[in-house]
Chain A
Amino acid sequence: MKQEELHYAKTHEWVAVAEEGGAQIATVGISAFAVEALTDLVFIELPAVGKQVEAEQPFCEVESVKAVSDIYAPVDGEVVAVNTALPDALETLSSDPYGAGWIAKIKITNDAGLANLLDYAAYQKQCEEEN
């Protein structure tokens, strides 16, 4: 997926929204900036399929040598798919964060959360400020 076309949460998740079978599905991952900042990832605990998630609430945990970090749901909805290949190939998060490194797909039940997301330019600016 093209970074320029994605939306971003202030907490460094990226989101791609697509129409699938009449529903809005958000594919969620974490940005290259986030992966770089976390470094030395050792473990990811994926959410269960069917889990109800709430925008801006933690729904997944990623463990690095240094610390455990939450990954936040960018929208309200239900987890309909998770990237089961990821736990055994965490390096995918750094080699292809916007493609094979996707984390979960959420069926959006309330798209109000989408309005809080940043576009590429605004997110780039945030990353520069954090650096």
Chain B
Amino acid sequence: MSTNNQLAHTPLFDWHSAHGGRMVEFSGWSMPVQYTSIVEEHQATRTAVGLFDISHMGRVLVNGPDAAKYLDHLLTRSVVDMKPHQIRYSLVCNEAGGILDDVLCYRVTLENGEHSGYGLVVNAGNRQKILAWMENQQADFDVKLEDITTAYGMFAMQGPRAIEIFDPHTSCELTSMRYYTGQVAQVCGVECFVSRTGYTGEDGCEIVCPSEQLPAVWEQLITSASAVGGRAVGLGARDTLRLEAGMPLYGHELDESTNPIQAGLDFAVNLRDREFIGREAIVGFQRDHKQSVRVGIQMEGKRVAREGATVLLGDQQAGNVTSGTFSPTFNHPIAMAYVCTSAAAPGTPLAVDIRGQEHPAQVVPLPFYERGK
């Protein structure tokens, strides 16, 4: 954590400052938490399109003859069977099955369809930790790791009109690109990597772009987005959007003391016919019915249950809130929490202790928000 004002700047730092971005420290980076209002930026993303600077996230290339074998050893989901253009959400666990990070693994496929290796996008706060972990696990494999976080920036376009707005600017056939696929493509005349991924529950894409060209590309896309009510979106609305979409956030729902099973990320763990770091521990967790699990919570009143608040079932502590906010879409507070299995069924009436007062709540299914198909 940077405490000496030596915060890293994304390629869009000057743009954020010039456009009213309220800059805050986030994982060692200076990032905009909002430009005008979290609610306005949230709603622009749900109704039109939001553009998010996500250059602070770590980007690592994995190449070499053993790249697939190596990642198969590191990640909870197999990569050897990944098809060209495919992307997978996956976890990096330690031997005890604790989550070191949640990552996107890209099979990098060139414009001519040739496979060139893999890319990982990791959380900003975990970048150094994961790089060190990856280097420590490298000895038995013929691989080359390259941290391209600063050479390339990254941004997301999210919302029901994201693809329509992006389409005229790119060589990608966006409408035929499936969710969780990506490819090298021209964006505003710059060679970028475009993927059908995102962190808001909306349709859209994410673009990895050389840092030097990124501000010019962003400027063109912002101009097109503005014409339909789209806008730049800061970290504040990124958090309310991902919470509504029920997506976990590292450092809140996920950390080294939580495991994929209790986090409800079974889909991101592939145990069959393979070995990877943490596998044995995770098999054990599958049989353990006593551990707490991640749930969605809806508050009855207007008070917001924040991270750390105690969740009560009757007069017993049932768990703790990991993230909470006021949902701009539903106009009431929502939260995620880890609770004991006896308190985890949707509909279970609970209470949350907010600053010494008990407020009624109930368990609801995740995600809170799902876009219309």
Interface positions of A (Cβ within 8 A of B): 39-40, 42-43, 45, 61, 63-68
B38 and A66 form a contact (CB under 8 A): yes
Query: Which B-chain residue is minimally distant from A63 (CB atoms)?
Result: B304
Cβ B355 vs Cβ A65 within 8 A: no
Whether A42 touches B34, Cβ cut-off 8 Å, given contacts A65-B240, A65-B328, A66-B236, is no
Of chain B, the residue at the smallest CB distance from A58 is: B355
User: Are B302 and A65 within 8 A (Cβ)?
Assistant: no
Contact among B39, B236, B306 for A68, CB-based, below 8 A: B306
**Separation of A64 and B304 alpha carbons in the complex (Å):** 9
B304 pairs with A42, CB closer than 8 A: yes
Which residues of chain A are within 8 angstroms of B2 by Cβ–Cβ distance? none
Q: Does B152 contact A (CB under 8 A)?
A: no
Instruction: Judge whether B302 and A40 touch: CB under 8 Å.
Output: no
Q: A40-B326, A42-B326, A43-B326 are in contact. List 10 more A-B contacts (CB 8 A).
A: A42-B302, A42-B304, A45-B303, A61-B355, A63-B302, A63-B326, A65-B325, A65-B326, A65-B328, A68-B306
With a CB–CB cut-off of 8 A, which chain B residues contact A42?
302, 304, 326, 333
- Provide a sorted-by-A list of 28 A–B residue pairs whose CB atoms are within 8 angstroms: A39-B34, A39-B37, A39-B38, A40-B37, A40-B38, A40-B326, A42-B302, A42-B304, A42-B326, A42-B333, A43-B302, A43-B303, A43-B326, A63-B302, A63-B303, A63-B304, A64-B326, A65-B38, A65-B39, A65-B236, A65-B240, A65-B325, A65-B326, A65-B328, A66-B236, A67-B306, A68-B304, A68-B355
Number of interface residues of B (CB under 8 A): 16
1/0 per residue, CB under 8 A from A, across B199-241: the answer is: 0000000000000000000000000000000000000100010
> Which residues of A lie under 8 Å from residue B38 when comparing CB positions?
39-40, 65-66
Chain B: residues with CB nearer than 8 A to chain A?
Answer: 33-34, 37-39, 236, 240, 302-304, 306, 325-326, 328, 333, 355
Distance in angstroms between the alpha carbons of A67 and B34 in the assembled complex? 14
Chain A binding site: helix, strand, loop or mixed by DSSP?
strand
Q: Return the chain B residue nearest A67 by Cβ.
A: B306
User: In the complex, A43→B302 CA distance in Å?
Assistant: 6
- CB-CB < 8 A to A63: which residues of B? 302-304, 326
Q: How far is the CB of B358 from chain A (nearest CB, A)?
A: 14
Task: Answer whether A40 and B304 are a contact pair too, CB < 8 Å, given A63-B326, A65-B236.
Answer: no
- The 8 Å CB contact of A40, one of B39, B306, B355, is B39
Q: Which residues of A contact B236 (CB under 8 A)?
A: 65-66
Shortest beta-carbon distance from A93 to chain B in Å: 14
Name the residue of chain A whose CB is nearest to the CB of B325: A65
Report how far A68 CA is from B356 CA in the complex, Å: 14
Cβ distance A78 to chain B, nearest Cβ, rounded Å? 22
Chain A residues with Cβ below 8 Å from B33 are: 66
Contacts of B325 in A (CB 8 A): 65-66
Query: Residue of B at shortest CB range from A66?
Result: B236
Chain A residues near B37 (CB, 8 Å)? 39-40
Q: What CA separation (Å) do A106 and B39 show in the bound complex? A: 33
A33 to chain B, nearest CB (A): 13
CB-CB < 8 A to B326: which residues of A?
40, 42-43, 63-65
Top 10 A-B pairs ranked by shortest CB distance? A43-B302, A42-B326, A65-B38, A65-B326, A40-B39, A40-B38, A39-B37, A40-B37, A63-B304, A66-B236
